[in-house]
Amino acid sequence: MSDAAERHRLQIEAWNGPMGVQWATNEGRTERNLTPVTQALLKAAAPQPGEHVLDIGCGCGGSSVAFAAAVGPTGHVLGADVSAPMIEVAKATALPGMDFVLADAAAHAFSPDSVDLLISRFGVMFFGDPDAAFANIRRALKPTGRVAFACWRPLAENPWVRVPMTALRAALPSMPPPGGPEDPGPFAFGDQARVARILTHGGFAAPSFEKFEFNMRFPADPVVAATGIVMIGPAGRVLRDLPEEAKTVAIAAVAEAITPYIAGDIIALPGAVWLVTTTPV
C-alpha cells in the first residue's frame, strides 16, 4: 500500500472510531461554534436558488442544511461523508431536497457533471490522497461549476488548538509528534502554496484565498472546556488510552492554559480560516 493510501485508510478508520462518535455526540455544540464559518462560506460560495450542491465531508450535516435553505425547494444538496456515526446524525436531520451518502470522496461514483457548487466546511483537509480525491470530485462538477471551502489557516494562527496543544505536549511526553506537511489533519490546508498545487493538479483554476477570523466558544469552566477540546482532536486518541490520573493531569494543564481566555460566561479562543474559491478548468 502506498503512503497516501495508508494515510487515507487511517483517516477513514479514525472518523469511524471513537473520534467520529465524539463528533456525532457533540453535534449541537459544534454546530453553534461553527455557525460564523457557515455564514462566511455562504457569502463566499453565493449559492443560487435551484442549484445543485455537493457538500464534501459534510459530517453531521450542519453546512448542508444551511446551503439547502439557500438553494430553496428547486435546488438540491447532497452531503457525502466517510464517517458512519456522523452521516447517521446527518440523515436524521435531512429535509426535502437533501440527501446524505456514506461515501469516500476519493472513490465514490458521484453522478458526473451534476453539481453547480462544491462546498466543504473543514472536510477536505482530511484526504489521505488529496490529488485522488479532488480529481474524483472534479468529475461531479458541471463545466460551469464552482468550488468554495473553508479550511483552517496554519496552527500558529489558531490559538484554539495551539494553546491547548502546547500545554498537552508539555504535560504528555507520549503525545505523537505533529504531522508532516503532506499528512492529513486540521491544518493540512494551512499552506496556500500546497492548496494551490493540489487544486491545479486536480483540474481547477488557481484558487483565491480570503481570510476569516472568529472565536471558538467553550464553557467558562476551564476544566469542562479543556475536556471537550482535547477529546475532539487527535489528542483524544492518546488521552483515551491513558490511566485516569494521567488524564486528569493533562486536562488540568490545558485548563490552566485556556483560563486567560475566559470572556464573561464563555471561553473564547480565536480561530483563523481560509475561504478558498476556484472553478474547474
Ligand X SMILES: C[S@@+](CC[C@H](N)C(=O)[O-])C[C@H]1O[C@@H](n2cnc3c(N)ncnc32)[C@H](O)[C@@H]1O
Among 11, 22, 158, 277, binds ligand X (CB under 6 A): 11
Among 7, 52, 76, 121, binds ligand X (CB under 6 A): 121
Supply 197's cell numbers.
498545487
Which position has the grid cell 488524564?
Answer: 247
CA 128 – CA 10 distance, rounded (Å): 8
Residue 107 C-beta-side C-alpha neighbours within 13 Å: 11
Position of minimal CB gap to ligand X: 59
Among 100, 110, 126, 274, binds ligand X (CB under 6 A): 126
CB of 214 to ligand X, least distance (A): 13
Rounded to 5, what percent of the chain is helix, strand, coil? 45, 25, 30
Q: State which of positions 131-190 bind ligand X (CB under 6 A).
A: 133
CA 95 – CA 101 distance, rounded (Å): 14
Considering the complex, state which of residue 161 and residue 255 has its C-beta at the smaller distance from ligand X.
Answer: 161
Using CB under 6 A, which of the segments 116-124, 136-144, 263-271, 273-281 binds ligand X?
A: 116-124
Question: Is there binding between residue 127 and ligand X (CB under 6 A)?
Answer: yes
Considering the complex, state which of residue 149 and residue 204 has its C-beta at the smaller distance from ligand X.
Answer: 149
Question: Is there binding between residue 34 and ligand X (CB under 6 A)?
Answer: yes
Q: State which of positions 49-68 bind ligand X (CB under 6 A).
A: 57-59, 62-63
Supply 126's cell numbers.
482530511
- Classify 87 as helix, strand or coil: helix
**For the stretch 114-132, what's the b/e string if a residue is b when 16 or more beta carbons lie within 10 angstroms of its beta carbon?**
ebbbbbbbbbbbbbbbbeb
Using CB under 6 A, which of the segments 43-51, 74-82, 212-220, 255-263 binds ligand X?
A: 74-82
Q: Quick check: 255 and 246 in contact, CB under 8 A?
A: no
Question: Is there binding between residue 202 and ligand X (CB under 6 A)?
Answer: no
Q: How far is CA 4 from CA 19, 115, 130, in A?
A: 21, 27, 9
Question: Is there binding between residue 15 and ligand X (CB under 6 A)?
Answer: yes
Instruction: Report the helix count and the strand count for the chain, using DSSP H and E.
Output: 11, 8
Question: Is there binding between residue 234 and ligand X (CB under 6 A)?
Answer: no
Give the footprint of ligand X on this chain (CB under 6 A): 11, 15, 30, 34, 57-59, 62-63, 80-83, 86, 104-106, 121-123, 126-127, 133
